[in-house]
Homo-oligomer: A and B are copies of this chain.
Amino acid sequence: MLLVLDRSDTQPLYRQLSLQLKGLIESGTLAPGSRLPTVRQLAEDHGLTRLTVQSAFAELQDQGWIQSTVGRGTFVADQTPSPPPSRLQIAGSLAELLEAADRPARYQLAQAAPSEEFFPKRDWKACLQAAMHQEGSLNYGTIQGDEGLRSQISRVLLERGLQVPPEQILITHGAQQGMDLVARTLSRPSQPVLLETPCYPGALELLHTLSRPCLEVPVEAGGPSLKAIEELCRRHRPSLFYTVPTFQNPTGLLTSPAHRASLLQLAQRYDFYILEDDVWGFLNYTPSLPPPLKAQDRNNRVIYVSSFSKTLMPALRIGFVVASEEVLQALSQKKHASDLVCSLLMQRALSEYLKRGLFQPLLQKVVPLYRQRRDALYAALQRHLGQCRVSQPPGGLSHWVQLPAGVDEQELYQEACSHGLVCARGEAFYPSPRGGHLRLSFGAHRPAELEEAAALLGQLLSGIEQRGALLRQRTRLRANPLV
């Protein structure tokens, strides 16, 4: 096979290879259905590493140009891929994250979402069917949400150490809608909102869209900095503090019990609300988990939001808010003006699922599996990215990786994407540009694949570091030509 690879080109080798193979397919030199050489063969013939050939193949396969069948080999696809469907270009890192999560990739580490393989399809079908046959399930239902579901959620929350009556629960379109309603109700464009950083991009996007000025509170080992909160409260009058005390996103950190008590005191002293995001609380790998802030809330300072997106499936789009009836009243007003109600059919299917006692057994099954994945990726990152600082989160689905000084996060991210590894850029988690991190979510892959992904990432990082060192050396040489 005639391939011209130029090691001095700025285009990486795998990309040169994939572009040339694509050209051979487009020109008809490689006919549809014809067999390609093996990875080993191509690597040997052209003096390439196998990883380079694999990356080129992965890219061509992702784009639909070739097909691999285990045990048979790799073939040119029968149908030339049609151009990708046109999509709006939506700005923002939350959008980027959602797009990345939707992209077919060899290593899908962008989405902090449960694995589809664990989803209880059979049980869910039975519950949906039962719901469909209940009277009224196809209709609108009430604004506050299905009474039965609210009762079930009230029971589920007891497991999190939170005792709330169904009347203090509002069903929302995912936790995101709960956050939107809270931000729109309890803050105004003139009022600053405190935000722990790094922080879930959905919260950043929301506050940006609502034109709320944000004040950053750095996350530390015990939780968001109390000192920073106090200082900011003295100088500004924030209305709201957004925090994820349990398995913070992206760091995975757990706010300590003492820290939690102090946060509640500060909220009371400086008169602000706490928006507690607890979407991760059920994916817990520690034996002793403190209850949510809301459980200790004596003064109705905490609005609690959560959802079933991280335990069942994102496509459920069922979240909920827990608040005092007074606050809930105001949220409900905005809720029905925004989108009337949530799907009663889905609500009742979920209610049925919880009522049949299927949720706890599901957690008992998946939590140990996610813990295995967390451990596997952590060990692999230690092996392959020893130069990075990596978190070992006590819950949730993500590792937060701090890159060595001088490494361009954007460059590594782009290279990883083009090698079929998607993850989240650290920049997405800050309100203002700041590089140096990646978030790697391990929910979607088995330990062996996570090992491969870490190896690939390690290799790419080393490449970048070497190129950087070389560049610095050359710059030094050029800068001192007369020495």
Contacts and interface: CB of A to CB of B under 8 A. Distances in A.
A contact patch SS: helix
A89 B337 CA distance: 15
Nearest to A91: B333
Contact of A95 (B85, B102, B128, B143): B143
B88 A328 contact: yes
Per assembly, the copies of the chain total 2
B136 A92 contact: no
Given A209-B337, A337-B180, A167 B88 contact: yes
B338 A338 contact: yes
A132 B125 CA distance: 9
Contact of A343 (B124, B170, B317): B317
A344 B329 contact: no
Interface residues of A, number: 73
A236 interface: no
A144 B142 CA distance: 27
Interface string A140-159: 11111001000000000000
Interface in A302-350: 313-317, 325, 328-329, 332-334, 336-346
A174 interface: yes
Contact of A139 (B88, B90, B116, B132): B116
B340 A202 contact: yes
A176 B338 CA distance: 6
A138 interface: yes
A211 B266 CA distance: 32
A98 interface: yes
A340 B98 contact: yes
Contacts of A113: 139-140
A345 B140 contact: no
A29 interface: no
A138 B119 contact: yes
A52 interface: no
A325 B88 contact: yes
Contact of A90 (B116, B121, B143): B143
B140 A129 contact: no
A372 interface: no
Contacts of A316: 343, 345
Of the listed residues A87, A141, A336, the one surrounded by the most CB atoms of chain B closer than 10 A to its CB is A336
18 contacts: A88-B167, A90-B333, A91-B333, A98-B140, A98-B143, A102-B141, A138-B315, A174-B339, A174-B340, A176-B337, A180-B338, A202-B337, A205-B336, A206-B338, A209-B337, A315-B343, A315-B345, A316-B343
